[in-house]
Amino acid sequence: MGFSLSETLPSTPAGLSGLPSLAQNSSASDSAGPLLSPQDSITHMAPSSDPNRCWPIRPTLRNELDTFSVHFYIFFGPNISVPPDKAAVFSINLMPVLDSGGVLNMELKLNLSSLRGENITVFGCLNHGMPLSLKDNSSVKCESDSVSGFLLSVNSSSNITKLRIPYPQTGTWYLSLRSLCATEHGFEPCSNMTAEVYLRSYLTPCINDCGTYGQCKLLRTNNYLYAACECKAGWDGWGCTDPSEAYSYSFQLLSTLLLCLSNLMFLPPVVIAVRGHYLLEASVYIFTMFFSTFYHACDQPGIVVFCIMEYDVLQFCDFLGSLMSVWVTVISMARLKSIIKQVLYLLGAMTLSMALQLDRHGLWNLLGPSLFALGIMAVAWTVRTVRRRRCYPPTWKRWAFFLFPGTMIAVSAVALYAFVETEDNYFYIHSIWHMLIAGSVGFLLPPRAKPRAKLTPLKRRRGCGYQLCVNEHEEMGLVDPVPAIVAINSISIS
**CATH code: domain of residue 136:** 2.60.120.680
With respect to residue 31, please indicate whether it lies within any of the assigned structural domains: yes
Do 433 and 379 share a structural domain? Answer: yes
Lowest mean pLDDT among 79-83, 124-128, 413-417: 79-83
Does residue 235 belong to any structural domain of this protein?
no
Residue 226 lies in a domain: no
Same structural domain, 126 and 31: yes
Q: How confident is the model at residue 480 (pLDDT cuts 50, 70, 90)?
A: low
Which of the two residues, 486 and 204, has the higher pLDDT score? 204
Question: What does each C-alpha distance from 302 to 254, 256, 320 come to in angstroms?
Answer: 12, 10, 25
At 291, the pLDDT band (50, 70, 90 cuts) reads very high
Say what the pLDDT of residue 82 is. Answer: 83
290 and 406 assigned to the same domain: yes
- Specify whether 475 is located in the same domain as 433: no
198-218 average pLDDT score: 89
What's the pLDDT at 176? 87
Asked if residue 470 has pLDDT above 60, the reply is no
3-state secondary structure the chain: CCCCHHHHCCCCCCCCCCCCCHHHCECHHHHHHHHCCCCCCEEECCCCCCHHHCCCEECEEEEEEECCEEEEEECCCCEEEECCCCCEEEEEEECCCCCCCCEEEEEEEECHHHCCCCCEEEEEEEEECCCEEECCCCCCCCECCCCECEEEEECCCCCEEEEEEECCCCEEEEEEEEEEEEECCEEEECCCCCEEEEEEEEEECCHHHHCCCEEEEEEEECCEEEEEEEECCCCECCCCCECCCCCCHHHHHHHHHHHHHHHHHHHHHHHHHHHCCCHHHHHHHHHHHHHHHHHHHHCCCCCCCCCCCCHHHHHHHHHHHHHHHHHHHHHHHCCCCHHHHHHHHHHHHHHHHHHHHHCCCCCHHHHHHHHHHHHHHHHHHHHHHHHHCCCCCCCHHHHHHHHHHHHHHHHHHHHHHHHHCCCCCHHHHHHHHHHHHHHHHHHHCCCCCCCCCCCCCCCCCCCCCEECCCCHHHHCCCCCHHHHHHHHHCCEEC
pLDDT digits (tens, 9 = 90+) for 433-456: 999 999 999 999 998 877 665 544
Percent residues over pLDDT 90 in the chain = 37
Q: Same domain for 180 and 99? A: yes
From 159, 182, 210, the end of a domain falls on: 210
* The pLDDT of residue 451: 64
- Asked if 279 and 398 sit in the same domain, the reply is yes
Residue 477 lies in a domain: yes
Name the more confident of 197 and 489. Answer: 197
- pLDDT level of residue 134 (50, 70, 90 thresholds): low
Distance CA 173, CA 255 (A): 47
- What's the domain count of the chain? 3
Question: pLDDT higher for 452 or 99?
Answer: 99
Q: Looking at the structure, tell me whether residues 409 and 482 fall in a common domain.
A: no
Greatest mean pLDDT range, 113-117, 306-310, 359-363? 306-310
**55 band by pLDDT with thresholds 50, 70 and 90:** low
| Whether residue 385 is found in the same domain as residue 266 | yes
Residue 268 has pLDDT above 90, yes or no: yes
| 57: pLDDT strictly greater than 70 | yes
Residues 402-443: tens digit of each pLDDT: 999 999 999 999 899 889 998 889 989 999 999 999 999 999
Are residues 302 and 186 part of one domain?
no
What is the rounded end-to-end Cα distance, in angstroms, of the chain? 128
Distances (CA, A) of 61 to 74, 75, 158, 425: 6, 8, 28, 49
424 in any annotated domain = yes
For range 72-78, the mean pLDDT: 80
* Residue 215 forms part of a structural domain: no
pLDDT for the residue 35: 35
When mean pLDDT is compared across 42-46, 291-295, 411-415, 457-461, the lowest value belongs to 42-46
**Per-residue pLDDT at 462:** 52
Whole-angstrom Cα distance, residue 147 to residue 45? 13
Which of 134-148, 163-177, 222-236 comes out lowest in average pLDDT? 134-148
The model's pTM is: 0.61
Report yes or no on 233 lying in a domain. no
Confidence band for 139, pLDDT divided at 50, 70 and 90: low
Model pLDDT, residue 192 = 75
pLDDT of 122 reads 86
In a domain, 452, yes or no: no
Lowest mean pLDDT among 9-13, 215-219, 249-253, 380-384: 9-13
Length of the chain: 494
Lowest mean pLDDT of 20-34, 288-302, 386-400, name the range: 20-34
Q: Are residues 414 and 475 in the same domain?
A: no
For 493, the domain range is 466-494
Highest mean pLDDT among 11-15, 95-99, 347-351: 347-351
- Greatest CA span in the chain, whole angstroms? 160
Task: Please check whether residues 394 and 312 belong to one and the same domain.
Answer: yes
More confident of the two residues 184 and 17: 184
Q: Residue 89 pLDDT more than 50?
A: yes
| 259 lies in the same domain as 332 | yes
